[in-house]
Amino acid sequence: MKANSETALPPPPAYNEAQGTSASPPANPTSYYQSEETRNFVPDDFKYSTTVTSCEPQVRRWFMRKVYTLLSFQLVYSFAFCFWVSHSPKAQGFLNRNQWLFIVAAIAGVVSCVWLALAPRSTEYAGESSPLNPQTGEVEPSQETSHTPWYILSYRGQLILLGFFTFCQAYTLSLVTLVYDPKTILSAMFITGFVVLAITAMAVSDRFETTVTASNTIYYWLNLAMWLLIGIGFSSIFFGMNSTVDLIYSWLGAAVFTVYLFIDTQLIFRKVYPDEEIRCAMMLYLDIINLFLYILRILGRNRED
């Protein structure tokens, strides 16, 4: 009986028939077949709910493109605004007659910066069934989405706040650059651009990836150095600063923000989420602007000497 049942079984299919061709799946619906589309499929929850370094290569490229596009618009607008002010007597007269606007712009810039930096991510208050739209960065509407607090902005609101922050920074920067001659400003821009390109190339290189593990310790000392710079800056308002101390202060500030730029460039590609490109662009913008101001101060002091 056992021998008869074995001989009654159909013969196994041929190899080509069982595997199927690359153009079409096999006829048997229960066989395993993986097309090119399903092979490259990665769930959106994995793509947009993990850090950038854990995402697919196309998501990392998309994130990098978004960050540096926003950063480029911020820098171009800021320096274009400063160029317009430096060549417009009417704009210079308006700024000189309304010095109080400088204080208002500085305070508004600090408030908007803190808001963008410390506000929680909108996806933290979204339901699990509400995926992130990869094109807009906003959470898809869902009935299960919980009510978000007022201080958590949508993607469009973050863009508007980033534009307001950039305008405030450009306004205050234009008043600072009016003190220096155009040749000194162009020299500072050239040096800053060279340093930014070199630091960015180093930071995104895999050779320096291990420094991220020590970023908390480095940030601790950087924050101490920054508070030292703030303290010296405030004391100079009341007690003044001689040329030697001012030059040391400027070099220290340039070194601090150069390291800030290096660490922040590493962190935005390895420690943040793919929907935080606005916050990352703001961080890099602040590092570059502060580096430019300290380099400008060094060059201005050298020309005076």
241 vs 209, higher pLDDT: 241
Q: CA quadruple 201, 207, 213, 218: dihedral positive or negative?
A: negative
Judge whether 282 lies within some domain: yes
Give per-residue pLDDT as tens, 92-130: 889 888 889 999 999 999 999 999 888 776 665 554 444
Q: Could you tell me if residue 72 is inside a domain?
A: yes
> From the centroid of its chain, how far is CA 238?
36
Q: Is residue 203 part of a domain?
A: yes
Q: Which residue has the higher pLDDT, 303 or 231?
A: 231
Total domains in the chain come to 1
Residue range 214-229: average pLDDT?
Answer: 74
What confidence score (pLDDT) does residue 133 get? 56
How many Cα neighbours within 13 Å face the side chain of 202?
14
| In a domain? residue 25 | no
- Is residue 207 domain-resident? yes
Give a yes or no: residue 244 inside a domain: yes
**Residue 161 — pLDDT band, cuts 50, 70, 90?**
very high
Supply the pLDDT for residue 38: 43
In a domain, 83, yes or no: yes
Query: Which structural domain range is residue 278 located in?
Result: 39-304
Which of 54-63, 64-73, 171-180, 293-302 has the lowest average pLDDT? 54-63
* pLDDT of res. 284: 93
| pLDDT one-digit tens code per residue, 179-212 | 888 888 889 999 999 999 988 888 777 665 555 5
Nearest to 257 by CA among 278, 216, 215, 285: 285
Confidence of residue 292 (pLDDT cuts 50, 70, 90): very high
Answer whether residue 32 is part of any domain: no
Query: Has residue 135 got a pLDDT over 70?
Result: no
pLDDT cut 90: percent of the chain above it: 23
